[in-house]
């Protein structure tokens, strides 16, 4: 048995009116296949180009190790020069990923390579973020701290994206005081005996190729797997729903600081408590014993 996933809608192009009315207002994901074909990035953005422009940048790296009380919220696990990291990506599989890094700020010339799409939503111009990963590396399922609407552009290779709407949260074993599910859930091959609520979850899936853009509505859970080495860029728009603005403010100004404090105070027992609570709450809500 596998997860209940539906293919995400795909269009080659779309007007800003149709995009806003059919997807933003309805909070439905969509892939736009040809949005970037007139960008310089469509031809330029590959590993060699990134090495040439940003090779000397020292970048933060993340892997798939379990959350530790010794780490702060979203703390990087290692650092490496971009040129060395890209060499690693091209030479062998690696779990090291670049996550939510404002490389465009560090290398302003990259701004010349893309355009801000006119799709009827106001994008935050200060926050184009880049993500890199090696073959089979995974971005563990989570939702974003700021509840942004996200335009996620993929370059160089293929990437699988699995999404769940916020109303599927009761089935996803959400960890308290966090933005993640239980880390021992394998979303490629879930254990329905151990995590039976997942059988009720209904999500979406797509594989992104070079130049394609995925719209992820605000608060959507997302799990990413790099099918080949590659990288992506996200552009963000503030949440449309005022209640999500409140949730974002809570996450940014209270939740993450509270979690860091509890990690320092309680140590690993805090992480263990949260993981047990994720299962207990989920099963109690659904009447699972």
Q: Can you give the C-alpha Rg of the chain in angstroms? A: 19
Q: Which of 199, 195, 201 is nearest to 275 (CA)?
A: 195
Q: pTM of the prediction? A: 0.91
**Residue pLDDT, tens place only, 208-247:** 999 999 999 999 999 999 999 999 999 999 998 898 989 9
What pLDDT does residue 72 have? 46
Q: Which residues of the chain have pLDDT under 70?
A: 1, 64-76
Q: Which of 108, 56, 102 is nearest to 82 (CA)?
A: 56
The tokens describing 154, both together, are: 């993929």
What pLDDT does residue 75 have? 57
The DSSP element (H or E) to which 244 belongs, if any, is helix 242-250
Place of tokens 């729903």: 241
How far apart, in Å, are the Cα atoms of 80 and each of 98, 202, 253? 10, 38, 30
Q: Is 227 exposed, middle or buried (0-12, 13-18, 19+ CB in 10 A)?
A: middle
16 contacts: CB under 8 Å, gap ≥ 6: 118, 119, 120
Which residues sit opposite 258 in a β-bridge?
A: none
What pLDDT does residue 240 have? 87
Domains identified in the chain, total number = 1
What pLDDT does residue 65 have? 53
**Residue pLDDT, tens place only, 177-220:** 999 999 999 999 999 999 999 999 999 999 999 999 999 999 99
* Phi (first) and psi of residue 278, to 5 degrees: -60, -45
- Alpha-carbon dihedral 246, 252, 258, 260, rounded to 10 degrees: 160
What pLDDT does residue 101 have? 82
Q: Are 186 and 138 in contact (CB under 8 A)?
A: no
CATH of the domain at 89: 2.60.120.650
Q: For residue 271, what are the domain limits?
A: 4-285
């Amino acid at each position: 048995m596998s997860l209940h996933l539906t293919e995400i809608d795909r269009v080659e192009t779309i007007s800003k009116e149709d995009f806003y009315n059919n997807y933003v207002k309805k909070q439905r994901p969509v892939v736009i296949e040809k949005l970037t074909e007139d960008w310089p990035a469509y031809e330029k953005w590959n590993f060699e180009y990134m090495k040439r422009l940003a090779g000397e940048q020292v970048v933060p790296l993340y892997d798939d190790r379990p959350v530790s009380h010794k780490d702060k919220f979203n703390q990087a696990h290692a650092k490496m020069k971009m040129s060395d990291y890209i060499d690693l990506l091209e030479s062998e599989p690696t779990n090291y990923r670049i996550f939510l890094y404002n490389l465009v700020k560090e290398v302003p010339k990259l701004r010349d390579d893309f355009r801000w799409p006119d799709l009827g939503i106001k994008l935050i111009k200060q926050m184009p973020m880049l993500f890199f990963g090696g073959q089979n590396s995974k971005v563990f399922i989570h939702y974003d701290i700021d509840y942004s609407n996200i335009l996620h552009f993929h370059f160089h290779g293929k990437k699988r994206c699995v999404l769940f709407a916020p109303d599927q949260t009761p089935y996803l074993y959400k960890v308290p005081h966090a933005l993640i599910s239980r880390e021992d859930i394998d979303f490629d091959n879930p254990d329905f005996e151990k995590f039976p609520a997942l059988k009720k979850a209904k999500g979406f899936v797509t594989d992104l190729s070079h130049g394609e853009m995925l719209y992820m509505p605000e608060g959507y859970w997302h799990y990413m797997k790099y099918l080949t080495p590659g990288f992506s860029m996200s552009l963000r728009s503030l949440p449309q729903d005022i209640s999500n603005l409140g949730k974002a403010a809570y996450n940014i100004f209270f939740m993450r600081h509270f979690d860091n404090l509890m990690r320092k105070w309680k140590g690993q027992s805090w992480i263990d408590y949260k993981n047990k609570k994720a299962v207990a709450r989920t099963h109690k809500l659904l009447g699972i014993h």
